[in-house]
Amino acid sequence: MISKKSSPIQKNKEIIIIGAGWSGLACAVTLAQHGHKICILESANQAGGRARGVSFKHFLNKQVLDNGQHIMLGAYHETLSLFKHLNIKKNHIFERQHLNFNLYSPTHSQIQLKSPILPAPLHLLAAFISMQGLAFSERLKIIKMTLRLAVTQYKLKQDMSVSNLLQQYSQSSITISVLWEPLCLATMNTPIETASAQVFLNVLKDSFSRKRADSDLLFFRQDLSSTFSSPAIDYILHHGGEIQYREKALKLRRDTEHSFFVETSQTQYNCKTIVIATPPHITDKLLVHFASNDIASEQNILKPQGASLSYQYEAICTIYLQYPVDTRLPYRMVGLFDSIAQWAIDRSVANQPGLIAVIISGPGKHQKMSHQQLAEAVHKELSFCLPDLPELINFHVIRVKRATFSCRVNIEQQRPENDTHIDGLFLAGDYTNTHYPATLEGAIRSGKAAAEKIIEANNNRSFTL
């Protein structure tokens, strides 16, 4: 008997967003707020993308952890304002700490940077002057650099690597390894030798030069899905939107002059407006289908000229270490240098006492180690800051290979705008032209900006009609 092939379901939508990461969700919330009916197609069985809560069968009794330990800065204004709009209570979801770094190593005395209660940027200058563990001459060079950068408005005539910038400002190797390198890796997830100095300065300017609270560190009190994805989805559904899980966009092309065709594994959709909110390597693949059916090449789709979706990526590894529940780090977050581990965060902040999340950004020798070897190595290193560290009970390692795009020199010239040369086709994602590295703030900025472009385009269209 010949089986009858069932024809795929066809659906018409006003606006489709492909991808429910933080950028796609931010775009959806902003559009929903302005009365648009949106439909999100998400390939996974949950929203949140790279910033989501997950639970593991054999670790922590299936308690929810994050796909990788995240923190935020007080300078993430767009994220904080979206949280406010969603009625997410800051005090409920964050522990806020003033700028306060404590770094440990087996070979060097403890480094401490603590900002006093002064307005910005005086709080920072005072923190550098009183920094413990660095010679006075080194601290003076840091202050000189900070002042000279402020005079230039943190703007370079030409981009260069962070290590070249530091050389130009005569920063010594010890200052680099205890201050600038950890800061660069934490904010850009890119080694100083290749990282874009201009993007680094954009982050420093936002965090250090305006308000003291901008340099605060914000630690999540709950997992990332409960923090943002769930309230964002509730808001979207409440405003007449929808989200379809396990709906992987496979093909995308222009249908008629004013509509698009999206094919997923199960359904065919038509829509007037489409936002691709996937990471660049996936966006690239989706646009290839689009381009082959429509116009010659990517260059004809992306704005501005020279924009491209060919990115390199950096990994992030999070090692969750479980100790007896009364184990505490000396500070909420500690830094480690001359070590494999870079930062450690005490998860008692998220009501997970005894759990420590160790973060390793970018490449390094940890990439060649097994999970077991890595957990043992970072466990040993934690004793630099906790000499009475008890026996490790359990551990879980999460390695994300394409955690962020590599934020390299001249990256700003290749980052695409949110709108494209195709009417009705928009992009969102941390890699677009936000002037920020791959961060939650970058993703939120991008999602909101894409939504604003859509609203503007629709207003212009109705004005012309």
Ligand X SMILES: Cc1cc2nc3c(=O)[nH]c(=O)nc-3n(C[C@H](O)[C@H](O)[C@H](O)COP(=O)(O)OP(=O)(O)OC[C@H]3O[C@@H](n4cnc5c(N)ncnc54)[C@H](O)[C@@H]3O)c2cc1C
Helices 136-151, 197-208: axis angle to 10 degrees equals 90
Q: Does 350 bind ligand X (CB under 6 A)?
A: no
The one segment of 144-152, 288-296, 384-392, 398-406 that binds ligand X by CB under 6 A: 398-406
Q: Does 282 bind ligand X (CB under 6 A)?
A: yes
Among 13, 36, 50, 415, binds ligand X (CB under 6 A): 50
Q: Does 332 bind ligand X (CB under 6 A)?
A: no
Task: Return the number of the residue (356 or 443) whose C-beta is nearest ligand X.
Answer: 443
Among 23, 163, 406, 433, binds ligand X (CB under 6 A): 23
Q: Does 424 bind ligand X (CB under 6 A)?
A: no
Q: Does 20 bind ligand X (CB under 6 A)?
A: yes
What is the C-alpha separation between 324 and 353, in angstroms, rounded? 8
Q: Any idea which residue has 């100083």 for tokens?
A: 192
Q: Any idea which residue has 């009501």 for tokens?
A: 351
Q: What are phi and psi of 68, to 5 degrees?
A: -175, 145
- CA angle centred on 374, ends 368 and 377, rounded to 5°: 120
Among 33, 44, 242, 457, binds ligand X (CB under 6 A): 44
Q: Does 429 bind ligand X (CB under 6 A)?
A: yes
What is the C-alpha separation between 67 and 49, in angstroms, rounded? 9
Q: Does 70 bind ligand X (CB under 6 A)?
A: yes
Query: Which ranges constitute the DSSP H helices of 256-313?
Result: 280-293
The one segment of 14-22, 139-147, 190-198, 372-380 that binds ligand X by CB under 6 A: 14-22
Q: Does 344 bind ligand X (CB under 6 A)?
A: no
CA distances from 163 to 140, 192, 197, 221 (A): 19, 5, 8, 35
Using DSSP's 3-state secondary structure scheme, residue 170 falls into: coil
Smallest distance, Å, CB 137 to ligand X? 33
Q: Does 207 bind ligand X (CB under 6 A)?
A: no
Q: Could you list the beta-strand ranges (E) of 67-203.
A: 72-73, 94-97, 100-104, 111-114
Smallest distance, Å, CB 44 to ligand X? 4
- Listed in sequence order, the residues at least 6 apart from 455 whose beta carbon sits closer than 8 Å to its beta carbon are 30, 31, 34, 36
Q: Does 248 bind ligand X (CB under 6 A)?
A: yes
- Which residues sit at the interface with ligand X, rule CB under 6 A? 18-24, 41-44, 49-51, 68, 70-72, 248-249, 277-279, 282, 316, 318, 400, 403-404, 429-430, 438-443
